[in-house]
Amino acid sequence: MKVATTIESLQDLLKDWTEKKHTIALVPTMGGLHEGHLSLVRMAKNQADKVVVSVYLNPAQFAQNEDFDSYPISTESDIVELEKCSADAVFIPNSEQIYPKDWSFDYQVGEISSILCGVTRPHFFNGVAKVVYRLFEIVRPDIAIFGQKDFQQLFVIKKMVDDLSLGINILSHSIVREQDGLAMSTRNKYLNKKERVTAIQLSACMNSAKDKYLSGMQIDKVNTELRQELSENFELDYAEIVDANTLKIITDNTVQIGILCAVVLGSTRLIDNITFWR
């Protein structure tokens, strides 16, 4: 596995692959890798000839009061795990490589960045779009793979690819969970033992809401009870039941439902979602 810290060294490798007509998949990460990330890499191996994993903690998607300075970094162990997954290259750039002084990016995500996570994190999705576009520009992949835990982020990236006609196939992998149902996340490392036990109530409450909806309970009542139940254990950011294909209000034409939640437990923000057919 090639470990590249500069664009030049990575692109030398990419040029060789392109000349050999290999298809290339990109898996963008911020490091602190866990089984959820590694599942994306394994999926990428099944979808393309060569897989590049980027490890870059992107300052553009953090606000001043967020955890950029304390975000879990485990670069050495990340490299070991990526080798085990047979990644072909890992790109570990610094900010000068990602955001050179003469580089600019003026794409704005738009309305989708102002709902759900965008209400309390208005900076976030433009920051995500910025770094993902830059990685696409550097790697020029045929395929890019993201996890479904960041459900709204998937919408943002797909929209950007369509808006800018980038011609990259965006694929997603289902959420990988711990045995007790907690969605795997790098930020789970922030949870103390008591919080870790409480955290499983997030997925439990969502699954309860799903069962209520499918049993015929009115959606407004389902949502009200979901929010009440979450508020017993968490500080609620949002809990919404939406059309999973639009992130908008459910209509008669809706075929797939999404329950999307963000909560705070102690100092840790947790997001999760489930989707199902009505």
pLDDT along the chain (278 residues), means of 10: 97 97 98 98 98 98 93 96 98 97 94 95 96 98 98 97 98 98 97 98 98 97 98 98 96 96 97 97
Say which CATH class 186-271 falls into: alpha beta
pTM confidence score: 0.96
Domain 2-173 has CATH 3.40.50.620: yes
Longest dimension (CA), the chain: 58
- Which pLDDT score, from 0 to 100, does residue 265 have? 98
Instruction: Return d(Cα 258, Cα 31) in angstroms, integer.
Output: 27
Q: What is the DSSP string of 250-270?
A: --TT--EEEEEEEEEETTEEE
Closest CA to 95 of 131, 121, 123: 131
DSSP string, 1-22: -EEE-SHHHHHHHHHHHHHTT-
Ordered by start, the domain boundaries in the chain are 2-173, 186-271
184: DSSP letter: P
Residues classed as catalytic: 37
The number of helices, as runs of H, and strands, as runs of E, in the chain is 10, 9
